[in-house]
Structure 1
Amino acid sequence: MKTRTYKYYILNIVTAIAVTMFFSCKDNFKEIQKIGVSENEPIGVAENINLKYTDSGKIKAILLSPKMLDYQNRAFPFFEFPNGIVLDLLDEDNKKNVVIADYAINYINTNLIDLQGNVKITTSTNDTLYAEQLFYDKKKEWIFTNKPVKFRQGQDLINGNGFDSDSKFTNAEVLEVTGIITLDE
């Protein structure tokens, strides 16, 4: 009889430990994924990017960059292009607009692209915008800055502090114009 009681106590103790362990476990898969990955480090690095974006079988954009860093592991995720970008944008008629910048960052949650350092946008009609920093709102398809700009439109070179335009430059406006120079061609 004593052996039976001893086995009963052992079985109860083992059951209590197993139940305690079962209920003390929690879903910490996200924390396990982060082991070995610093939040300051990118989760991915791509080099020599030549990305072509197509829609309905037509190329709409070509992105070239020596390096892209993927920071989607952050609370405010983004892609960083520390060595700059060259972006060709093609319209329905295959007319090309070109965007060049020394540095770019694409904020995923806000649909905002921040272009910095020797930013140059050349349209298919040879209108050219020069700026040190320029923002592009992908959702609104709007280009803007409050920094100094130079905008060559036709024979006019317009200097100012700030710029607003739709992505097709049909409503391009230099803000706080500081000077206009008409060039001879």
Structure 2
Amino acid sequence: MISKKIYNTTSIAIVISMAMLFCSCADNYKRVGDEAIKNIFPSGIAEDFTLTYTETNGEKEEDGEVVSRVVAVLKSAVSNDFDNLSFSYRTFPDGLKVEFFDDKGMKSTVTADFGIIYSKTNLIDLQGNVVIETEDGKKLEAPQIFWDRNNDWIFTQEKFKYTNPEEGTVMDGEGMDFNRSFSFLHANRTYGLMSIKEKKDD
């Protein structure tokens, strides 16, 4: 009789231990990092995307229509629209090409492997093999460039290569800010080989 009681007590102890073991195996882990990131989906996807920026000077034509001119034309194979978010933006995962036109119709071209336009701040982030070329042949190459559309100002903290065929110069450096026409240019640091065209005396 005593052995039967010991057996029942042992069985009850095993059952309680197993129940505690299964309860302690519950997944109470609070997920962080990549596991906690919510999936974000675009509100719209456009293929063979073309966006034309225009501006008006307030003047009107004889028929009453407001005079406007094309400032820039942006083209991309794919555009993802995330305007459904509180901080809206648009991405160009397959690269983009932007053509800018000044008051005289002179064109500058920008190409990049990837781009983001932040709608609220009017800031454009260009990444991967970024190349800016002006109509007179000036060229800037960098892995990443930011363009502040409000102030028409371009800057980078990355390494760059700037070629100016008019002056016959090639400049390598790191960190630069400039206006779109390259009429003002400030480099934080320059290094490497710099060739400068000398003026000939008459």
Q: Would you call these one fold, judging by a TM-score over 0.5? A: yes
Asked which structure has the greater CA Rg, the reply is: 2
1:28-75 Cα offsets, whole Å, 9 max, x none, are xxxxxxxxxx86000011110122333334322111100110101112
- Identical amino acids, percent of aligned pairs: 34
User: Would you say 1:99 and 2:116 are equivalent positions?
Assistant: no
User: Would you say 1:166 and 2:179 are equivalent positions?
Assistant: yes
User: Would you say 1:152 and 2:163 are equivalent positions?
Assistant: yes
For 2:104 and 2:179, the matched residues in 1 are separated by 18
> For the Cα contact (< 8 Å) 1:78–1:108, is it kept in 2?
yes
Aligned twin of 1:44: 44
For 2:54 and 2:152, the matched residues in 1 are separated by 18
User: Would you say 1:135 and 2:141 are equivalent positions?
Assistant: no
Q: Which amino acid aligns with 2:49?
A: I
For 2:100 and 2:106, the matched residues in 1 are separated by 8
Query: Which segments of 5 or more consecutive residues in structure 1 lack a partner in the other structure?
Result: 1-37
Q: Which amino acid aligns with 1:63?
A: L
RMSD: 1.8
Deviation at 1:175, TM superposition (A): 2.0
TM-score, normalised with respect to structure 2: 0.68
Aligned pairs for 1:174-185 within 5 A: 174-182=187-195
Aligned pairs for 1:69-80 within 5 A: 69-80=80-91
- How many matched pairs? 147
Secondary structure, counterpart of 1:76 in structure 2: coil
Aligned pairs for 1:51-130 within 5 A: 51-55=51-55, 56-130=67-141
Q: Which amino acid aligns with 2:46?
A: A
Secondary structure, counterpart of 1:176 in structure 2: strand
Q: Do the aligned partners of residues 112 and 45 (structure 1) sit closer, same or farther apart at CA in structure 2, a change above 3 Å counting?
A: same
For 1:109 and 1:54, the matched residues in 2 are separated by 18
